Amino acid sequence: MKESIGVYIHIPFCEKKCFYCDFVSYDNKNDLIKEYIDSLCIEILRNAEILSEYDISTIYFGGGTPSCIEPEYITKIMDTLKLFIPDFNSLKEVTIEVNPNSASLDKLKKYYDGGINRLSIGLQSTHDKILKNIGRIHSYDDFTNTLENATNAGFKNISLDLIYPLPGLKLNSFKDSLNTIMKLKDIYNIKHISVYNLEVHESTRLKFLLDEGFLSLCDEEEEYKMRDILNTTLKDNNFIKYEISNYALEGYQSKHNLCYWNQDKYLGFGVNASSFFNSKRYRNIDDINEYIKRIKENKDIVVESEQLDKLSLMKEYIILRLRLKDGVNIVDFKERFNIGIFDIFKTEFDVLKKDNLINIDNKSKNIYLTPRGEEVANLVWEKFI
C-alpha cells in the first residue's frame, strides 16, 4: 500500500489585494495567467516520479483568489494531477478557496463536476462596512448568493474564514456575525469555520491606515470577550475546536491541513509554494516572472531548502501537534522517533506544566495545551525552537 501525500496549488491572482494581505499575490498580472498555469502544470510533471510513488490524498487550491481565474485553468491543473491518481474516488478531500464576488453557479458547477468536493469561502465578516474597512470587494449578499450557488452545484462540505478583531468591529457586531452564520449552517452545509486573529503586517495598507489614525481596533479586553463568545457560540452549535484557529462539525476537520499539523508529506506547486518531503522543507521562488522564466528554461525554482535532523523534526512535530486539541500522543511520539518524549524534553514539559500551559493526560497519554496555553501559545513554541 502506497504512502499518502498532500498537494497544495498556489494561485497567486486576485481582483484586488486586501488591506491586510502580505501573501504573494497579484492584482495586476492577469496577462500572466495562462503562462503561469502552463508553468505550474509543467512543475507538477517534473515531480512525476514522486507523485507516481505516493497516493495523493488531498488537494488544496489556495491563493490569492483561485476563483478569480477562469475555471478551465483549474480543470487543466486537475487533469494534470489526475495522471497520478488511478482511482479518483480514493481522494479524501479536494478544496478550493473562493471569494464571494467571484463564485458564480456556472463556475462552482465546473469545480464540482471536475472533482472538487470542498469549498473554503473567504467571508471575514458579515458586515459590509467592516468588509470595506479591510479592502474586501464582496458584500454579505454576495456571500449568501455564493452559499446558494454552492448548494445548487452540489457541494455538501463548506468552510468559512473569519477574522477578528477588525477595524470597526465591536463585540455586538461580532456576536451578530456568529449568530448569522449559525442560522445558515444547516441550510447551506457549513461544516467548518476557520477564525483567525488579525495580524497587522509591515508594508500593508492596513498598517498605514492604523498608524495614521484612519482606522482603529478594539482594545485587548474586548478582543478577549470576542474570543470567549466565539468559543462558546461554536461549542453550543456542535463545532469542535480541533485546532487553535479551526472549528468543525464531527468528521469535517480539514484533512489537508491535518497533513501539515501531523507533519505528513506534502508537495506545493506554484510561486512561493512550500513542500515537506523526506524530512526536508523547501520553498519555491516568490517572483512570478522569474518562476515562469525558470520553468521555461528547465532551471531550479527552489530558493530555500532545509534538511531537518532528528532533533529538529522532534521539536517541530511537538509544535505542530500542540496546535491540535488532542496534542501530542506520548506513545505515537515514541513510535515515530524511537525515543521517549520525556527522555529529550522533560525539562521543557515540567516548566510548561508548572506554568499551567499544558496538561498531561495519563489515561490517553496525550500532552495538550490548556486554555491559558492557547492564549500564549507562542511562549510554548519558544521552548522548542
Q: Which helix (H) or strand (E) holds 283?
A: strand 280-284
Write down the residue that cell numbers 476557520 correspond to. Answer: 194
Q: What is the dihedral of CA 263, 269, 272, 274, to 10 degrees?
A: 10
The CATH architecture of the domain made up of 4-261 is Alpha-Beta Barrel (3.20)
Determine whether 242 is exposed, middle or buried from the number of CB atoms within 10 Å of its CB (0-12, 13-18, 19+).
buried
pLDDT at 135: 93
Beta strands in 134-248 (DSSP E): 158-164, 190-197, 240-243, 246-248
CATH of domain 310-384: 1.10.10.920
Beta strands in 64-142 (DSSP E): 93-98, 118-124
pLDDT at 24: 83
Note whether 73 and 67 are within 8 A (CB). no
C-alpha 178/C-alpha 175 separation (Å) is 5
Residue 102 — very low, low, confident or very high, per pLDDT cuts 50/70/90?
A: very high
Per-residue pLDDT at 87 exceeds 90: no
Chain centroid to CA 237:
22
Residue 28 — very low, low, confident or very high, per pLDDT cuts 50/70/90?
A: confident
Per-residue pLDDT at 270 exceeds 90: yes
Which grid cell sits at 73? Answer: 485553468
The string of pLDDT tens digits covering residues 302-355 is: 999 999 999 999 999 999 999 999 999 999 999 999 999 999 999 999 999 999
Domains of the chain, residue spans: 4-261, 310-384
